[in-house]
Structure 1
Amino acid sequence: MARRLEPYCWPLRPFDRAHPVRAYFNDPRISGSSRAFHFGIDISARDGAAVYAVEGGTVHLEGGRSLSVVSTGGGRSFGYWHVVPSVRHHQAVRRHQLVGHVEAPWAHLHFAESTRRQYRNPLRKGALAPWLDPSSPRIAGIAFSRGGKELSPLEVSGSVDVIVDAWDLPPLPVPPPWANMPVTPALLRWRVLRNGKAIRPWHAPVDFRRTLLPPSLFAVVFAPGTRQNRPNKPGRYRFYVAHAWATRRLPNGLYRLEVSAADVQGNRAHAALPFTIANRR
């Protein structure tokens, strides 16, 4: 039977208080032609801030400005990026021991957790603690699209993509130039109703709650128009919840598409779009 992994503290002081997080797990990362999912979280911190081990273990230096600590017993590994190390390669460290300082000019600590070489969401329940988010994500829009062109919901036909604009805000204020920047919801679901009855049940094509998605899925998850946050320039998150959805499988008529967006703590937002299927029969 697998050993249950315990929650762990914050890698910055105070250890028992949540810190502002300016980027979430699986947020989009876009650089030139590169597309990937964010493999950790970015914790806001002043340049030079002390960084501490969240669990005891063995240090592995991974370049000049990053390190990991493999926990005693090998259950999991914690990564610390944009850090000037103050420890040696293969040094044993204890919980809450200083491992380095935030490197200028990054003004944040990129923090990651992995188990059996699989990155996991540090903000999930039972991991980084304490973490409390009382607010819900936002759904900014729902659209049908084909060939990159948005379609009118008044006359939907053939195979269509379903795209949702959705975002969340961190629960703790983040300093400029990253203030009020959106982050991704952890879960998106959708369903279709007719006359109040679900004719396509809830389906969850976007799920960021637990593990990292591979870069090969970027264009499957994120629709064109998605932008990464930049200093003083908020990003935008457009999600495919369906590719080439075959409307011909349903009779012509009026329907209702419902979308739910949730964070890791289960706070939810809901939105709906009435639409009409009008295929030539």
Structure 2
Amino acid sequence: MRKVLIPTDFSRNAWDAIAYAVDLFKNEPCEFYILNVYSLADFATDNLMVPQLDSTLVDTFKGNSEKGLEKVLQRLSFRDESDMHSYVTLSQQNDLIVALKEIVESKDIGLIVMGTKGSTDALNISFGSNTVTVMEKIRNCPVLAIPKGTIYTSVSEIVFPTSFKTHFKKRELDYLIDIAKITNAPIRVLHINEGGDLSEEQLNFKSLLEEYFDVLEYSFHFLESKNINEGVELFIQSRDSGMVAFINKKHTFFSTLFSKPLVKELGLKAKIPILALHDFRN
């Protein structure tokens, strides 16, 4: 059974992420873990008049968290009629990253799905600003980020930008291949350069992708541009692509192919889900 972890701060965007995940895997046996973390430290910082965080306040935070999760389950009962889906709610006084790491390990989670923009309510942690951090810090589990207002529709295609300059391991691409099979979406491998032919090394890495994607519909696309970020964005927008996936190479995420501004552009303007895979060798 597929195990999917979805953090929520009870914002609209968090619900959009839950709904997207449920619809994406509507025909797949899934166990969904719905997590809410709350931070007393955040409340103390924002409310300087509170002399101390006593047990009554702790109980209030915990009660609000549990009630919020109950409402999420109630909403899900109205919209999800699949007998292949089950739900587990988790309420924790914790840091979001710490909680996610612990649950991924203890529950053998295969995918994290989360919104890109959270609530700013003081009673709930805002994980919107942490979405990119989650992609960086959670190295042993793919992360699928869902932009605000995104409603699941048939995925037209999945764009996979690559420089062809790094080695691929098949297991790093497993979840991309898995989602492509589930959605019947073709993979569009996108390479953007400033001109010139591929080197012998790049051609070898291209051949590896052909081998890995052999059971899928896929195609290669080459664009010349001096700005990689703009090239990727224009390609996605011009084709109305349904999802973009990339391998998050440790130590190079913000400095090469994908920069933080691009992730924000794709997540908040292009209205397209972003699947962050990981380089397991790092």
TM-score after normalising by structure 2: 0.27
Report the structure, 1 or 2, having the larger helix content. 2
Report the structure, 1 or 2, having the larger strand content. 1
TM-score after normalising by structure 1: 0.27
